[in-house]
Structure formats: C-alpha cells, structure tokens
Amino acid sequence: MSVSTSRPEKGIAVVTVDFPPVNALPVTGWFGLADALGSAGRDPEVRCVVLAAQGRGFNAGVDIKEIQAQGGSALIGANRGCFEAFAAVYECEVPVVAAVQGFCLGGGIGLVGNADVIVASEDAVFGLPELDRGALGAATHLARLVPPHLMRALYYTSRTVTAAELHAHGSVWRVVPRDGLGAAALELAREIAAKDGELLRLAKAAINGIDPVDVRRSYRFEQGFTFEAHLTGVADRVRNTFGQSGKAEKSGTAENSGRAEKSGKLGKEGT
C-alpha cells in the first residue's frame, strides 16, 4: 500500500495511488497523497502532475472499516486527510491531470473534481455513495463535473455516471480504452509541460483566483454536517448496515464496485 511519485519524462511527475483491493484510503493514505502532490507541485522542474492509480478502480473513498473500528478519531482523521488531499490537488502549483479508470467514488470525486483536467477510460464510472455510507461531502466537487440539478439527483440517489456522460457535459477531456489511459494522460501532460514553467504557475494561480466557489471553505462546510450526523448517531445507524445486504464485503465505499462498473449509465442503480 503506497503513494509513489515517478518522473517518466522531463517536466512531468506522476503520483500513483496503490491501496489494494479497491483504493479505499486510510487516514495515513490521504495525508500521504497530499504530501506527494504538494512536493511534486513545488518542484521547479515539474510543469504538470498526473494523478493516477493502480488496480481495477481509481478511488473508492475512505476506508470505512477503519472508521467502524476506531470511531470518532478515525472520522476526524479521514475528514482532515480528505480535506488536505483535495486541497493539494486544487492548490498544486502546476496543472493536475487525473487519469481515471474503473470506479471513482466518494473521495475520488473530491480528487478529480479539483483536478485541472480529467482523462478517463471507457469503463470509468463516477459517483457519491455517501448517503448509503452514513456520510456527507464532496458535493462541492461533484458540482464541478455536472450541472446543478443533475448533481443533486446523483447525490440523493447515490447513482453513478459514466465517463462518456461526463465527456458530453464537458468535464472529461477525453475517453479512451483502458489500456491506453496512461498514454493518453501523458500525451496531454506532455503538451502542457511544453509551456513555459513560470507562466504555467502564474496561469494556475490566476485560474484558481477567478473560481466562483471557494472549494476549501465549501467542502469544509459540508464536512460539518458529516460530523453532525456522527454526533447524532444517524451516521452509525447507516454505516453499521455496511456489508450486511448480501453483497460482497470490501473495505471501501466501493464494496459493490463491480456493480458500479456494470451499471454506469444514469438511470440505472449506482453504488
């Protein structure tokens, strides 16, 4: 289990997440990802960062089993870790290209919603199963991917959308076969990295500066309701049903990620 950084080409850093079986990150994983993204962005030799993942899915959110085992301390840690990781994507000093395969759920939406560009494989599906997991959050980031009313429908139902559907909305740059995802992400990163490095950093700061939503404050507001749900007991009531409905039990928000990968299309049941 790791977060690693490689430099495949001049000007490009690839930050790769690998937490089997479904890339559901523990608290330490979220902070490690934030550190890796921050370090890559501060490197004056880097002009573009690719955020990628190993395994069958890009990200399944937080490790629910860790929260179930440790309670409030793990919830606070997960909240803070996600907050730092999402902010690290958004505030990375250079553009971040997210390379998404398979499922992108929960915290994965927080990561890609704050990325500068998304390249996705044909099998990629995106969604927030938070209401099924006794949590709230990342509506801030889903709202950056789809129109407002669609965001609400997806949030309330926990359904998923496909990469092709997000491409139609303009939030996914390119959809490619899964075996071509890495090459497609590097191709785009290479084009970005060909620009003047100093000017790219100014451009990233300028674009963030004109953003109509303060993503850090907006997401922190959402997190307050997650903690309220925990304090009132409603979060535990929902979360304790996790893995008890006859589905295969995994460690992340994507315990039924196979179903998510199969459903995909809006109008079908997501995770």
pLDDT digit string (tens) for 78-111? Answer: 999 999 999 999 999 999 999 999 999 999 999 9
* Element (DSSP H or E) covering residue 2: strand 2-9
Name the more confident of 179 and 247. Answer: 179
Burial class (CB within 10 angstroms; exposed 0-12, middle 13-18, buried 19+) of 187? middle
Please state, as a whole number, how many other Cβ atoms lie within 10 Å of the Cβ of residue 77: 19
Q: Identify the DSSP state of 248.
A: P
The reported pLDDT for the residue numbered 243 is: 58
Q: How confident is the model at residue 257 (pLDDT cuts 50, 70, 90)?
A: very low
CB 175 within 8 A of CB 185: no
Say yes or no to pLDDT of 259 above 50.
no
The reported pLDDT for the residue numbered 160 is: 98
Summarised one tens digit per residue, pLDDT across range 203-220 is 999 999 999 999 999 999
Listed in sequence order, the residues at least 6 apart from 15 whose beta carbon sits closer than 8 Å to its beta carbon are 3, 4, 5, 33, 36, 37, 40, 49, 50, 51, 52
Phi/psi at 138 (5° precision): 70, 10
Single pTM value for the model: 0.89
CATH class of 2-263: alpha beta
Q: Which two tokens stand for residue 164?
A: 């092709």
CB 85 within 8 A of CB 110: yes
Q: How confident is the model at residue 249 (pLDDT cuts 50, 70, 90)?
A: very low
CB 34 within 8 A of CB 78: no
Where does residue 221 fall: left (phi above 0), alpha (psi -120 to 50 degrees), or beta otherwise?
alpha
The reported pLDDT for the residue numbered 244 is: 59
Name the more confident of 72 and 54. Answer: 54
Name the more confident of 68 and 6. Answer: 6
Measured over the CA atoms of residue 17, residue 171, residue 63 and residue 42, the dihedral's sign is positive
Q: What is the CB-side half-sphere exposure of residue 229 using CA atoms within 13 A?
A: 20
Q: Which two tokens stand for residue 227?
A: 């903690």
Cα gap 106→101, rounded to integer Å: 15
Q: What separation in angstroms does the CA of 131 have from each of 55, 139, 230, 260?
A: 25, 11, 13, 15
Say yes or no to pLDDT of 270 above 70.
no
Average pLDDT, the chain: 89
